[in-house]
């Protein structure tokens, strides 16, 4: 009863007062349970540590798979400029709301999926609900899917000034297996830190090892790879049994 009353108050007021990485923000009231979890440090504290380590006032940040903005908003307080991509219409609506609630003007938020081509693709959530952070281009055949605009990486990179990007976060629910090959020439030339969430469980079991091995090869030019705990690991970590059955995250640097 108290929780429902609090949610009603937040919605009437128009925002939830919370913290991301210890920094106060006004946040959309419809995700107040999630925002409380973040504020308590129970949602990916290692992610905020990565943002702290690799962003600065003269550097830019590329967030591919921004969802409702828990990393975008925080990064906007640390970086010169933030590029945010979120194709799920429901998630993007809340992302834009959260940006506006905080008056952040150094964010370019685009409702598109970065891809290997410009066009239209279908995507749906593996969780069954639009905007739930599990929407994926790999789930195109789902009955409750929707069409989204895709933007060719090369076209975007040719038109945007990405010379100051120091950190790229990619969390695209399985689309990383196709997208990273397109990004490789730019990543290898510029060498920003790459914070990558992998989604092998969304692939057919027989394809997982080969696809994760291909990811490791694509990113083999990076000098160092860390896992979620901060431990230095080798490329073999991407094809270890738990990387094929879990949603692992890796940080590539150097």
Q: Report if residue 223 sits inside a domain.
A: yes
Burial label for 3, CB within 10 Å (0-12, 13-18, 19+), is exposed
Q: What is the pTM of this model?
A: 0.94
**Rounded Cα distance, 215 and 226, in Å:** 15
List the beta bridge partners of residue 115: 152
Q: How far is CA 36 from the centre of its chain?
A: 20
Regarding whether 23 and 94 lie in a shared domain, the answer is no
Q: Do 81 and 108 touch, CB atoms closer than 8 A?
A: yes
Regarding whether 188 and 247 lie in a shared domain, the answer is yes
Domain that holds residue 14: 1-43
Residue 2 has pLDDT above 50, yes or no: no
pLDDT digits (tens, 9 = 90+) for 159-193: 999 999 999 999 999 999 999 999 999 999 999 99
**Rounded Cα distance, 52 and 54, in Å:** 6
Predicted pLDDT at 129: 86
Regarding whether 173 and 72 lie in a shared domain, the answer is yes
**Rounded Cα distance, 156 and 182, in Å:** 12
pLDDT digits (tens, 9 = 90+) for 117-128: 999 999 999 988
């Amino acid at each position: 009863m108290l929780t429902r009353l609090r949610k009603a108050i937040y919605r009437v007021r128009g925002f939830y007062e919370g913290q991301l990485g210890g920094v106060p923000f006004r946040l959309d009231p419809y995700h107040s349970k999630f925002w409380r979890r973040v504020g308590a440090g129970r949602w990916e504290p290692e992610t905020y540590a990565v943002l702290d380590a690799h962003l600065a006032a003269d550097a830019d940040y590329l967030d591919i798979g921004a969802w409702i903005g828990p990393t975008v908003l925080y990064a906007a307080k640390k970086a010169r400029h933030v590029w945010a991509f979120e194709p799920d219409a429901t998630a993007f609506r809340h992302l834009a709301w959260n940006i506006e609630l905080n008056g952040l003007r150094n964010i370019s938020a685009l409702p598109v999926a970065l891809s290997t081509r410009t066009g239209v693709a279908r995507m749906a959530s593996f969780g069954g609900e639009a905007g739930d952070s599990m929407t994926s281009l790999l789930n195109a055949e789902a009955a409750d899917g929707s069409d989204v605009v895709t933007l060719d990486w090369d076209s975007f990179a040719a038109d945007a000034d990405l010379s100051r990007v120091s950190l790229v976060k990619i969390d695209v629910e399985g689309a990383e297996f196709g997208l990273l090959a397109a990004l490789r020439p730019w990543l290898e030339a510029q060498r920003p830190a790459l914070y990558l969430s992998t989604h092998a469980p969304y692939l057919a079991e027989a394809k997982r090892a080969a696809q994760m091995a291909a990811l490791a090869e694509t990113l083999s030019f990076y000098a160092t790879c860390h896992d979620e705990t901060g431990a230095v690991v080798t490329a073999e970590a991407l094809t270890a049994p738990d990387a094929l059955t879990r949603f692992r995250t890796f940080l590539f640097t150097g």
